[in-house]
């Protein structure tokens, strides 16, 4: 028997239905690519030696390894901070008071208030905060004079406590005899 070479050309075997054309959809192509990528796990071959050459910048210096920590020196012995003496605190308060009195923004805002302008809520709170701080510092330094409040003339109470140990009956009698019109303003 003689040997015949098979051919895929139509009509060689006489069947015209044998020709198969494949229409691959995009999802089939993507699936094949994913399968191919899955087979290639891990790093490229020869990565161990080629990695050192890629760690150089364009400028030629090495990229720092983020795992290596800071080179900043750490003080091993911690010295305790000494407490400020009252004279030092007074000097610090005086310096802060001088700085607040020379504050240009505060001076401008105070001038605006003196001229009758109304400030916004933020600026007004800033001015109030600084003025309160100035008052506290002046008290610390001793520059603030104590304000004398005018004494309100009030009638002395008609009942005076003569002894510390009074019975409950005496206290109740004093309470009932108390005239509340003395306390009205």
Q: Is residue 108 part of a domain?
A: yes
113-126 confidence digits (pLDDT tens): 899 888 888 888 99
Higher-confidence residue: 53 or 90?
Answer: 90
Q: Is residue 47 part of a domain?
A: no
Higher-confidence residue: 68 or 154?
Answer: 68
**Considering only CA atoms, which of 152, 150, 154 is closest in space to residue 181?**
154
Give backbone dihedrals phi and psi of 26, rounded to 5 degrees, phi first: -65, -35
**DSSP structure class, residue 59:** T
Can you tell me the distance from the alpha carbon of 133 to that of 96, in angstroms, rounded to the nearest whole number?
Answer: 10
Can you tell me the distance from the alpha carbon of 93 to that of 137, in angstroms, rounded to the nearest whole number?
Answer: 6
Question: If you average pLDDT over residues 132-156, what whole number do you get?
Answer: 73
**Domain range enclosing 129:** 86-141
Q: What is the pLDDT of residue 161?
A: 47
**Is pLDDT of 101 > 70?**
yes
Can you tell me the distance from the alpha carbon of 133 to that of 16, in angstroms, rounded to the nearest whole number?
Answer: 102
Can you tell me the distance from the alpha carbon of 128 to that of 109, in angstroms, rounded to the nearest whole number?
Answer: 11
14-69 confidence digits (pLDDT tens): 555 555 556 778 888 898 888 888 877 777 777 666 655 555 545 556 677 777 88
Higher-confidence residue: 166 or 26?
Answer: 26
**Is pLDDT of 131 > 70?**
yes
Q: Is residue 93 part of a domain?
A: yes
Q: Is residue 113 part of a domain?
A: yes
Distance of CA 87 to the CA centre of its chain: 35
- Percentage above 90 pLDDT, the chain: 3
Q: Is residue 92 part of a domain?
A: yes
**Considering only CA atoms, which of 104, 106, 96, 99 is closest in space to residue 131?**
106
Higher-confidence residue: 141 or 158?
Answer: 141
**DSSP structure class, residue 111:** H
Q: Is residue 56 part of a domain?
A: no
Q: Is residue 127 part of a domain?
A: yes
Q: What is the pLDDT of residue 57?
A: 47
Q: Is residue 9 part of a domain?
A: no
**Is pLDDT of 155 > 60?**
no
């Amino acid at each position: 028997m003689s040997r015949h070479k098979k051919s895929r050309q139509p009509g060689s075997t006489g069947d015209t239905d044998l020709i198969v054309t494949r229409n691959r959809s995009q999802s089939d192509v993507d699936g094949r690519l994913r399968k191919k990528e899955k087979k290639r796990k891990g790093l490229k071959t020869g990565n161990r030696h080629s990695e050192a050459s890629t760690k150089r910048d364009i400028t030629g210096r090495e990229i720092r390894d983020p795992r290596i920590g800071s080179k900043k020196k750490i003080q091993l012995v911690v010295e305790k901070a000494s407490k400020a003496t009252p004279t030092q605190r007074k000097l610090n308060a005086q310096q802060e008071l001088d700085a607040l009195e020379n504050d240009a923004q505060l001076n401008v805002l105070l001038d605006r208030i003196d001229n009758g302008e109304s400030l916004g809520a933020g600026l007004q709170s800033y001015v109030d905060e600084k003025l309160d701080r100035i008052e506290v510092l002046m008290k610390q330094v001793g520059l603030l004079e104590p304000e004398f409040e005018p004494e309100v003339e009030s009638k002395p109470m008609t009942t005076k406590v003569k002894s510390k140990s009074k019975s409950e009956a005496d206290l109740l009698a004093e309470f009932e005899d108390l005239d509340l019109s003395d306390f009205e303003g």
